[in-house]
Amino acid sequence: MAHRAASKGAALALYTLFSLAPMLLLVVTIAGLFFGEDAVRNQLLQQMSGLVGQQGGEAVRTILAGTRHNDASVMAGLISAGLVLVSATSAFAELKESLDELWEVPPSAKPGIWAFLRQRVLSFGLILVIALMLLISLAISTALAAMDSIWPGGEGSPLKVVSMVISHIVSFAIVTGLFAVIFKYLPATKIAWKDVLVGALLTATLFIAGKTLIGIYMASADVASAYGAAGSVVILILWVYYSAQIFFYGSLFTHEYAMKLGSRADASDSESLPNSSLSQADKARLARTAS
């Protein structure tokens, strides 16, 4: 998949563009049950602006403004909910196909409505995970804001430094957790947690570093002004594209680590030997690993 990362990143950027509005609507609706939709929208905008920069954040702000609920009939509401669910899970469905290809998962023997529904339910589960992580981030941000109000201090005060460090650690942990969940549960094959965590940590590190470098490039190149009114949307698409490259190469690293150094290394070495040279114990272990 290494030589196809560019094309897959472009496909994922397109799917994300169409899936982002319904995905954000679902996340805001679910998380808003606990903290209120306005608080969730503000936190989501803050998190996304931190990821994609101020210019990309304007596109997210516009999308969030367009996802507010409108009064409609019950039937129209049900149809709208179904379309939102299918649209929101499209990007994750595309991710699943790419990861299945990477892990050499054979296509389903019985493609049809049940396979489609299973894929969408799994994708919706990942959206629930995103909503949960947003709730955790919102709760921690609220706690840090409360600490700042109780023990006020200047920008260089120890409390401000501790608050900033905690915020960065939480952001890194949330990104790592999201990658770990995707690597573990999205492919239709069993992957050991050790392999998943190693790959997720590396991918999260590259993602955070890449986010900074992409932000510097976007600011210095002044991409938004070159596209006029569509500049903020172009910034968002470019950010998704470059982030997809990091994700796919992180997935490749996870696969190679599992096959060469991780839980599948023994099985990979055994498969390269003639079957007659394997002991009964090795054959049994290989069968268990493959299953």
List the one residue out of 244, 229, 239 whose CA is nearest residue 62. Answer: 229
Range of lowest pLDDT (106-115, 182-191, 272-281): 272-281
**What one-character DSSP code corresponds to residue 106?**
P
The amino acid at residue 246 is I
Give the C-alpha separation, 253 to 241, whole Å. Answer: 19
Cα distances from 240 to residues 137, 220, 274, in angstroms, run 21, 18, 45
Give the C-alpha separation, 9 to 95, whole Å. Answer: 10
The 10s digit of each residue's pLDDT in 151-176 is 665 566 677 777 778 888 888 898 89
Which stretches within the chain are classed as H helix? 5-35, 37-65, 74-88, 90-102, 113-150, 158-185, 193-221, 223-226, 231-260, 265-271, 280-290
Q: Per the domain annotation, does 235 fall within a domain?
A: no
Give the C-alpha separation, 29 to 68, whole Å. Answer: 10
Return contacts of 192-195, CB within 8 angstroms, 24+ apart: 192/258, 192/262, 192/263, 192/264, 194/262, 194/263, 195/254, 195/257, 195/258, 195/262, 195/263, 195/264
Per-residue pLDDT at 223: 66
List the one residue out of 2, 1, 11, 43 whose CA is nearest residue 24. Answer: 43
Q: Per the domain annotation, does 32 fall within a domain?
A: yes
- In which residue are the tokens 């409390």 written? 159
Q: Per the domain annotation, does 120 fall within a domain?
A: yes
Q: Per the domain annotation, does 136 fall within a domain?
A: yes
> How many other C-beta atoms lie within 10 A of the C-beta of residue 195?
21
Full residue range of the structural domain in which residue 52 is found: 2-190
Per-residue pLDDT at 56: 75
**What one-character DSSP code corresponds to residue 227?**
T
The 10s digit of each residue's pLDDT in 115-125 is 777 777 877 78
The 10s digit of each residue's pLDDT in 213-239 is 877 777 676 666 777 667 777 888 888
Give the C-alpha separation, 129 to 89, whole Å. Answer: 13
| Residue 174 contacts residue 137 (beta carbons within 8 Å) | yes
Q: Over 80: is that where the pLDDT of 87 sits?
A: no
Per-residue pLDDT at 291: 47
Q: Per the domain annotation, does 239 fall within a domain?
A: no
What are 175's two structure tokens? Answer: 């990104």
Q: Over 60: is that where the pLDDT of 274 sits?
A: no
Per-residue pLDDT at 286: 47
Q: Per the domain annotation, does 251 fall within a domain?
A: no
More confident residue, 140 or 69: 140
Q: Report the domain count for the chain.
A: 1
What's the pLDDT band for 279 if we cut at 50, 70, 90?
A: very low
Q: Per the domain annotation, does 91 fall within a domain?
A: yes
Per-residue pLDDT at 106: 81
Q: Per the domain annotation, does 173 fall within a domain?
A: yes
Q: Over 70: is that where the pLDDT of 254 sits?
A: yes
